[in-house]
Structure 1
Amino acid sequence: MEFNVPDMSCGGCASAVSRAITNLDSAAKVEIDVAAKTVKVGSALTQVQIASAIEAAGFHPTATTS
């Protein structure tokens, strides 16, 4: 699944997003592109659960279609 996170602007933001996701699912595979403001996640969790974790970290994700 992939999310656009427009308010993610630096490495610290990327770390916070990654940490929020891996705290929820330690086996999740997270790929972040700060320049493109995208987060790709491989996880058994639902898109809603991952989006909620990103929101809890203080960001505003929107799901993208790939």
Structure 2
Amino acid sequence: MISFEVNDMTCGHCVSAITKAVKQTDRGAVVAVDLGSKRVQIDSKVADEAELKAAIEEAGYTPVKAAAAAEASGQSGGSCCGSCH
């Protein structure tokens, strides 16, 4: 499972565009999008992380690997703001 945070995903149209871009890269991919958390999870047997990221970027969005996004914001694991222990 590959997870991205896509902070510039703001509406249903964005969800559709990202899903379509991923499916063009791998028709059989399972795509789960949570608009509220701006998270896209992809299970692909064909495409790797770089290919999927490139597809989302070509659709006009800015995907960041979910673990990298949490580290960049100072968050770890399930912590919401880095202050919780």
Q: TM-score, normalised by structure 2?
A: 0.75
Question: For 1:4, what is the secondary structure of its paired residue?
Answer: strand
Q: CA deviation at 1:29?
A: 0.2
Structure number with the bigger relative contact order (C-alpha 8 A, sep ≥ 6) is 1
Question: Residue type matched to 2:10 in 1?
Answer: S
In the alignment, which residue of structure 1 is the partner of 2:62?
A: 60
- Aligned residue-pair number: 66
**1:11 & 1:27 partners in 2: Cα distance?**
21
Q: Which runs of 5+ in 1 are unaligned?
A: none
In the alignment, which residue of structure 2 is the partner of 1:40?
A: 41
**2:35 & 2:66 partners in 1: Cα distance?**
16
Q: TM-score, normalised by structure 1?
A: 0.95
**2:21 & 2:13 partners in 1: Cα distance?**
12
Question: For the pair shown, which has the larger CA radius of gyration, 1 or 2?
Answer: 2
Question: For 1:9, what is the secondary structure of its paired residue?
Answer: coil
Please give the root-mean-square deviation of Cα atoms over the aligned residues, in Å. Answer: 1.1
In the alignment, which residue of structure 1 is the partner of 2:7?
A: 6
Q: CA deviation at 1:64?
A: 1.4
In the alignment, which residue of structure 1 is the partner of 2:31?
A: 30
**1:43 & 1:28 partners in 2: Cα distance?**
5
Q: CA deviation at 1:20?
A: 0.2
Question: For 2:9, what is the secondary structure of its paired residue?
Answer: coil
Q: CA deviation at 1:56?
A: 0.4
